[in-house]
Amino acid sequence: MTRTVQQLFDLTGRTALVTGGSRGLGLQMAQALGEAGAKVMLSARKADELEHAVQQLQAAGIDARWCAANCADPADVTRLADEALARLGPLDILVNNAGASWAAPAEDLPLDAWDKVMNLNVRGYFLLAQQVGKKSMIPRRKGAIVNVASIAALGGNPAGLNMLAYNTSKAAVLNFSRTLATEWGHHGIRVNAICPGFFPTKLTHGAIENMGADKMAAGTPLGRLGGDEDLKGAVLLLASDAGQHITGQGLVVDGGVSAVVGG
Please tell me whether residue 135 adopts helix, strand or coil conformation: helix
Q: Give the H/E segment covering residue 28.
A: helix 24-35
**What is the set of active-site residues?**
166
- What single-letter amino acid sits at 156? G
> How far is CA 1 from its chain centroid?
33
* Residue 91 and residue 128 in contact, taking contact as beta carbons nearer than 8 Å: no
The length of the chain, given as a count of residues: 263
In whole angstroms, give the CA distance from residue 90 to residue 88: 7
- Phi/psi of residue 59, nearest 5 degrees: -65, -25
Helices assigned H by DSSP within 60-132? 74-88, 111-118, 124-132
Cα separation, 95 vs 61, whole angstroms: 21
Question: Which has the closest alpha carbon to 43: 21, 72, 23?
Answer: 21
> In DSSP terms, which residues pair with 190 in a beta bridge?
144
Contact 44, 68 (CB under 8 A): yes
Angle in degrees, 0-180, between the axes of helices 24-35 and 232-239, rounded to the nearest 10: 60
Closest-CA residue to 230 (of 201, 207, 202, 263): 201
